[in-house]
Structure 1
Amino acid sequence: MFPLNSMKVGNDRDKIVLLLLLLLLLLLLMMMMNDYDDDCHDGGDFSCGGDDDDDDDDDDDESHGSNNDNADDDTGCRWCDGVYTPTSDWPKDGDIQIDSISARYDTDLDDVLRDVTIRFKPGEKVGICGRTGSGKSSLTLALFRMLDTYKGRILIDNMDISHIPLITLRSRIAIIPQDPVLFAGTIRFNLDPYDEKFEDELWEALEIAQLKPVVAELDEKLDSPVSEGGENFSVGQRQLFCLARAFLRKTRILVMDEATASIDMQTDAILQKVVATAFADKTVLTIAHRVSTIVDSDSILVLSEGRVVEYDTPEALLALEDGVFSSLVKGAKNAGN
């Protein structure tokens, strides 16, 4: 018979040994995971997010909505930890498929989009309208992943945007917001904050936005100062600067979030003309403040309480006497807009 105190010492010693073994095992697992990540990001022998079997890679590509032509990034790594880094020319077409999405601003708030299913074809010009609170702006915010889209998915060129790095996604979609945003600095900085464009490209963008004469008359030209919020330019000019900045992005998708809501009719006409020409082959989504600005669109999407209620050509919707879009147009005519 062993003394009780010796048994206690033995038990404590066993516990210490077991703890040390567990810590050693945990350390080995962490080292193995680090080695895997290094191989994944360095384009090593490991297949990102899968094994080396070609059939498994094909299945993985198909399940995430990618295709073999656009499956690899510059390092040859396709999927790493559930994140897909697209090629530099993504999206090539600007095809947008919204598949049964429901979204909200927070988990304890009501849905602002409810089971929305819609497709915007490459190069299509889509006018989005509806009464206040219908979900117009929320739909575009979902494209930028600024909402809690807890159901369904959004595909851009057949890629699920929930797998795209957020910075990459937002850099591939241009937007002209309702309230034009300019930053304290220079005109050059506001057009090309990352200094990626040649000077000729900046002047071309200004010419397209019909701002070249304005900037050319300034003493410092492109290096002329811009005050905080762009207060040294008119609202219309600030809106056109945003248009020039969007043009420089060379993206396949442009979102105009009620961009004509706070500008005069002359600037509105310039804006519409430039979008119709400079963005002729791009997918353009326009949230309408003035219904007259979208009657020439290829398609009209009408939302109500976060749901799609009408989607067709302007001609087809205007033919519906009791339709929502038809009533909005009639109301605008009566109001002189």
Structure 2
Amino acid sequence: MGIREEPRSFAIAVTGSAVYGLATVGSAIVLGAVIDRVVEPAFIQDETSTLALAAAAAALAGVAFAKAAGIVVRKVAATWMQAALHARYRKRITRQYTRLPLSWHRRHTTGELLSNANADVEATFWPIAPLPLTCGVVVMLVGSGVALVATDPWMAAVGIAVAPIISFVNWRFNTAMRGPATRAQQKRADVAEVAHESFDGALVVKTLGRESEETQRFREEADELRDELIRFGRIKAVFDPLMEALPALTILGLLVVGGLRLEQGAISTGDLVLVGYLFTLLAFPLRAIGMILSDLPRSVVGWNRVERVLKAESDEPDGEADLPRADGRPADLALDEVRYVYEDPGARETLGGAPGSRPRSAEEDPRAEAALRDVTFDVPAGRTVALVGPTGAGKSTIASLLVRLADPAGGSVAVDGADVRELRRAALTRDVAVVLQHAFLFDDTIRENVTLGADVDDDEVWQALRVAQAEGFVSELDHGLDTVVGERGTTLSGGQRQRVALARALVRRPRLLVLDDATSSVDPSVEAAILAGLREAELPATILVVAYRRATIALADEIVYVERGRVVDRGSHDDLFARVPGYRHLVSAYDRAERAGGSDTSHGGRG
């Protein structure tokens, strides 16, 4: 696979490795010739010449230069190939993450996803860099075998006899390594997950004094990873010395046989040096092959984990249609008998309260929790509708369905009369925007957090900040739009983060804007100014806002009240307050909490 994707780099690396292998065999042949023609006559006959010494030195220098050139070419090309494959597959996995729906992400931990994109990719292509060397040493082995047979068949037979033993040892090693390699790779993901949770929840850990417990939790996972790696290492500790010993024992056998053949006059001193030196050199090729074989189990495990991500299919396939209207005017929205069922109660706890599991019918799983039941209402173009209900009523589930973070189990969600399941993702995200209660900001400037790389000039950014009531505090920052807000926007308050996130949605001029309790952290007066600004914007949008405050609700054209996944009633605030006890109790309780000295955000929980 890696060779198929980087054939040129691999061919160059193998060529360099082959040059190195042939030059290595050549160095042994040259050394043997120098012994026979220069060194031995100098000792036995006490004669030599300057020309013979110069020729010997030139021959040795030539093969040494060829070996060095082969090593340089191989290393550069192999390293380039490995780095290119790492980068390519990390990008593929990241793109796949962005394509897969939230329901898929909900079934996989963050640590596992990070491990797939980093440790698993590295493990997959770890053997690709030494692979050209192995191909080169195969050339070396073939050349050495030919040289051995040509020199003396008896010594060649002794050398070749070790090959089946090495093959058996390698087979046993791969079999023994497969299990520990799989478990160690999974443990890397587990350690990454615990570390991510601890760092991500640093505020909770610090405020509740959970440092020692988190340290212990991380220690337990790290100890399990250590144990797996030790188990892995113990197997290698048996294999590697054995691979080292086999060539050395072979050399001893060759010296014994070679000594006898030398006494018989069947070979020369140079031939014995040639054979001994060849097998001294062959110890390295055998180790190189063993190194590749020892890394293959981990590579196979890494690829299986990477392939599982790349082959993952979305259970929410994209449509191919565009919105019927794209004229910049507000969109209209309609929900018709929408039903949604969670696979498990814990599936609600996802980013922004959006459902993170595949919708299932009661027939599929009678134990499944029904989040929405036959929800039907519409929002005419240009209108502002407040969605009100107690915690767990299904408000955030409805909001997530509007922007297709999940698909309903039944019924339809339509924008401008088109079912969102039939639309291209780009068509929907271009005209529909959602702002969640928990605003996420990147460790970047205000400008980049608003534009997210889109081609938007600063005038439009300031206009969006103005509508979001963020222009004032941004202009007072030391560097204005160029102010870096820190990881997750830690240098800003909760209300400031929410306003920047709102500006991020507004700068795209959406035709339908969904605010899922997106102004819960700002003052009521600021929230009222934001909603008023949205209504008076140059290109007003249709707005659906999840609301609790009486001041926010009063600015809506109409209110839809939901309880237990059903639409109970809709109408004006006064009408619902008079005829719906649940609505009256909810709004009154929130008013009492605000008068008592603060906003009771428990009523602003996920729904």
TM-score using structure 2 length: 0.39
Change (3 A) 1:87 1:194: farther
Of 312, 323, 327 in structure 1, the residue corresponding to residue 581 of structure 2 is 323
The question of 1:174 aligning with 2:444 is answered no
Match of 2:336 in 1: 99
Contact 1:98 1:118 in 2 (8 A): yes
Matched residue of 2:548: which SS?
A: coil
| 2-structure distance, mates of 1:329, 1:219 | 40
Partner amino acid, structure 2, of 1:305: R
Matched residue of 2:540: which SS?
A: coil
Give per-residue Cα distances to partners, 1:306-326, cap 9 Å, x unaligned: 011111122322232x53323
Q: Quote the offset at 1:282 in angstroms.
A: 1.8
For residues 208-219 of structure 1, the aligned pairs below 5 Å read 208-219=467-478
Q: Quote the offset at 1:152 in angstroms.
A: 1.0
Match of 1:154 in 2: 413
| 2-structure distance, mates of 1:303, 1:137 | 11
Q: Quote the offset at 1:150 in angstroms.
A: 1.7
For residues 237-276 of structure 1, the aligned pairs below 5 Å read 237-276=496-535
Change (3 A) 1:91 1:308: farther
Q: Quote the offset at 1:101 in angstroms.
A: 1.2
Change (3 A) 1:189 1:305: same
Partner amino acid, structure 2, of 1:283: T
> Would you tell me which structure has more strand in proportion to its own residues?
1
Q: Quote the offset at 1:197 in angstroms.
A: 1.0
Partner amino acid, structure 1, of 2:338: I
Q: Quote the offset at 1:127 in angstroms.
A: 0.9
RMSD (Å), alpha carbons: 2.5
| 2-structure distance, mates of 1:230, 1:118 | 36
Contact 1:260 1:289 in 2 (8 A): no
Matched residue of 2:452: which SS?
A: coil
Q: Quote the offset at 1:130 in angstroms.
A: 1.0
Matched residue of 1:294: which SS?
A: helix
Matched residue of 1:133: which SS?
A: coil
For residues 188-199 of structure 1, the aligned pairs below 5 Å read 188-199=447-458
Contact 2:372 2:394 in 1 (8 A): yes
Higher deviation after alignment, 236-245 or 164-173 = 164-173
| 1-structure distance, mates of 2:323, 2:542 | 19
Contact 1:254 1:284 in 2 (8 A): yes
Q: Quote the offset at 1:87 in angstroms.
A: 6.7
> Would you tell me which structure has more helix in proportion to its own residues?
2
Contact 1:247 1:278 in 2 (8 A): no
Contact 1:104 1:147 in 2 (8 A): no
The question of 1:143 aligning with 2:402 is answered yes
Match of 1:309 in 2: 568
Partner amino acid, structure 2, of 1:103: Y
| 2-structure distance, mates of 1:279, 1:318 | 33
| 2-structure distance, mates of 1:279, 1:287 | 23
Contact 2:531 2:555 in 1 (8 A): no
Unaligned segments of structure 2, at least 5 residues = 1-317, 344-359, 600-607
| 2-structure distance, mates of 1:133, 1:333 | 20
Higher deviation after alignment, 215-224 or 172-181 = 215-224
| 1-structure distance, mates of 2:520, 2:464 | 23
| 2-structure distance, mates of 1:324, 1:193 | 41
The question of 1:332 aligning with 2:569 is answered no
Contact 2:516 2:546 in 1 (8 A): yes
Matched residue of 1:162: which SS?
A: helix
Unaligned segments of structure 1, at least 5 residues = 1-80
Change (3 A) 1:235 1:201: same
Q: Quote the offset at 1:331 in angstroms.
A: 2.9
The question of 1:281 aligning with 2:551 is answered no
| 1-structure distance, mates of 2:407, 2:461 | 36
Give per-residue Cα distances to partners, 1:265-285, cap 9 Å, x unaligned: 454344334334338832111
| 1-structure distance, mates of 2:560, 2:542 | 14
| 2-structure distance, mates of 1:296, 1:212 | 22
Which structure has the larger Rg over C-alpha atoms?
2
Matched residue of 1:205: which SS?
A: helix
Match of 2:385 in 1: 126
Q: Quote the offset at 1:91 in angstroms.
A: 7.1
Matched residue of 2:334: which SS?
A: strand
Matched residue of 1:225: which SS?
A: coil
Q: Quote the offset at 1:183 in angstroms.
A: 0.8
TM-score using structure 1 length: 0.68
Higher relative contact order (CA 8 A, sep 6+): 1
Change (3 A) 1:298 1:279: farther
Contact 1:291 1:329 in 2 (8 A): yes
Partner amino acid, structure 2, of 1:151: G
Q: Quote the offset at 1:138 in angstroms.
A: 0.7
Higher deviation after alignment, 160-169 or 323-332 = 323-332
Matched residue of 2:474: which SS?
A: helix
